[in-house]
């Protein structure tokens, strides 16, 4: 019985959830609707709450979520950009906005206020959370899952969005391949005169565009030959909602509604302008804080549950 159970779990993960040859477990094994709802809740709550403690904990949780996906490899590529962007917003906002009553100091006869500084911090944290969320989004909701969510409602729009999301990393990968071939042939953009380097750079762009257009024509011909857009759209991978998917779907909706209602009453937020309000936590603030942490921790809970299952089976 135990061997049959392990075999059924393995076959379900390999053939049913991820397609043939692709095993998915933990958070990736959940239904695309549940995953999309999670990212929708995260993006809304990141902009909805402005309490620094809410945003700091949410940012930390999103970092750990990305680490649980691939060890943080994809996030490390964006780390420097996120840090520089945050510092620019935090530093520039107090000098560009003079609103507020708590004056820190004067710069060229212009007041720099505590309120403007706090607002810059909260705004940068919100943007960082959303950007980190999109890193996780690209890792989890791949092309098949994204098309499954929107193909029945907006098939052409979903397909165009999927192509747009895939476009930038694909071009970057092709450009690296072209550069590698050029380096083997002794054509470097780091040596020689400016004119020679510009000429090589233009040649790389020309090759990149030519290759992209050629593959686009091949893709269009292949789609036309296979009858894309004719008749009812069917999914290559038959995702089905299980009990755990329904359970988490309802849980996320309930927690999200609690956060929205509590936020509409003023909890989980602080007044920044015209005068900085109190950072004190009331009972409802703590309730909203726990609800928000539960939403952001959903992938971590799923991954932790999976690892505990494996430990128990061993």
What token pair was written down for 28?
């990736």
In this predicted model, what pLDDT tens digit does every residue of 226-278 receive, in sequence order?
776 666 655 556 678 888 889 999 999 999 999 999 999 888 888 888 777 77
Evaluate whether residue 285 is within a structural domain.
yes
Angle at 266 between CA 263 and CA 268, to 5 degrees: 60
Evaluate whether residue 36 is within a structural domain.
yes
What's the structural domain count of the chain?
1
117 and 12 in contact (C-beta within 8 Å)? Answer: no
Q: What is the pLDDT of residue 19?
A: 40
pTM of the full structure: 0.73
Q: How far, in Å, CA of 44 to CA of 209, rounded?
A: 37
Q: What is the pLDDT of residue 118?
A: 86
Evaluate whether residue 188 is within a structural domain.
no
In this predicted model, what pLDDT tens digit does every residue of 111-170 receive, in sequence order?
878 888 888 889 999 999 999 998 888 888 876 777 777 767 676 666 676 666 666 677
Evaluate whether residue 79 is within a structural domain.
yes
Q: How far, in Å, CA of 199 to CA of 193, rounded?
A: 10
In this predicted model, what pLDDT tens digit does every residue of 8-49 receive, in sequence order?
433 444 433 434 334 467 788 888 888 899 999 999 999 999
Evaluate whether residue 207 is within a structural domain.
no
Q: How far, in Å, CA of 149 to CA of 37, rounded?
A: 11
In this predicted model, what pLDDT tens digit does every residue of 54-64 receive, in sequence order?
999 999 999 99
Structural domain of 140: 8-151+235-313
Count of other CB atoms within 10 angstroms of residue 275:
13
Q: What is the pLDDT of residue 6?
A: 36
Q: What is the pLDDT of residue 114?
A: 81
Angle between helices 52-70 and 32-48 (to 10 degrees): 150
* 118 alpha-carbon distance from chain centroid: 25
Q: What is the pLDDT of residue 231?
A: 64
Q: How far, in Å, CA of 67 to CA of 79, rounded?
A: 13
Q: How far, in Å, CA of 282 to CA of 108, rounded?
A: 40
Evaluate whether residue 161 is within a structural domain.
no
Nearest-CA neighbor of 158 among 171, 167, 149?
149
């Amino acid at each position: 019985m135990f061997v049959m159970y392990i075999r059924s779990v393995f076959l379900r993960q390999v053939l049913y959830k991820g397609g043939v040859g692709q095993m998915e477990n933990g958070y990736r094994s959940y239904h695309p609707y549940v995953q999309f709802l999670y990212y929708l809740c995260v993006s809304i709550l990141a902009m909805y709450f402005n309490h620094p403690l809410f945003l700091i904990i949410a940012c930390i949780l999103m970092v750990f979520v990305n680490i649980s996906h691939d060890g943080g490899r994809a996030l490390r590529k964006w780390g420097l950009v996120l840090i520089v962007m945050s510092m620019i917003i935090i530093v520039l906002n107090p000098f560009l906005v003079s609103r507020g009553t708590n004056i820190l100091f004067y710069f060229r006869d212009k007041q720099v206020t505590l309120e403007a500084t706090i607002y810059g911090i909260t705004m940068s944290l919100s943007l960082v959370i959303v950007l980190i969320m999109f890193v996780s989004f690209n890792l989890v909701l791949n092309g098949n899952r994204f098309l499954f969510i929107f193909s029945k409602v907006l098939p052409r729009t979903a397909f165009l969005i999927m192509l747009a999301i895939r476009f930038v990393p694909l071009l970057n990968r092709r450009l690296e391949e072209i550069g590698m071939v050029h380096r083997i042939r002794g054509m470097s953009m780091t040596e020689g005169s400016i004119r020679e380097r510009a000429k090589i750079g233009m040649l790389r762009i020309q090759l990149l565009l030519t290759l992209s257009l050629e593959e686009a024509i091949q893709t269009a011909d292949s789609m036309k030959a296979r009858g894309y857009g004719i008749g009812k759209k069917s999914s290559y991978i038959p995702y089905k909602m299980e009990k755990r998917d329904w359970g988490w779907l309802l849980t996320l909706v309930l927690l999200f509604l609690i956060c929205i209602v509590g936020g509409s009453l003023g909890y989980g937020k602080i007044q920044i302008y015209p005068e900085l309000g109190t950072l004190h936590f009331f009972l409802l603030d703590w309730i909203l804080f726990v609800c928000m942490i539960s939403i952001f921790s959903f992938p971590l809970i799923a991954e932790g549950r999976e690892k505990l299952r494996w430990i128990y089976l061993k």
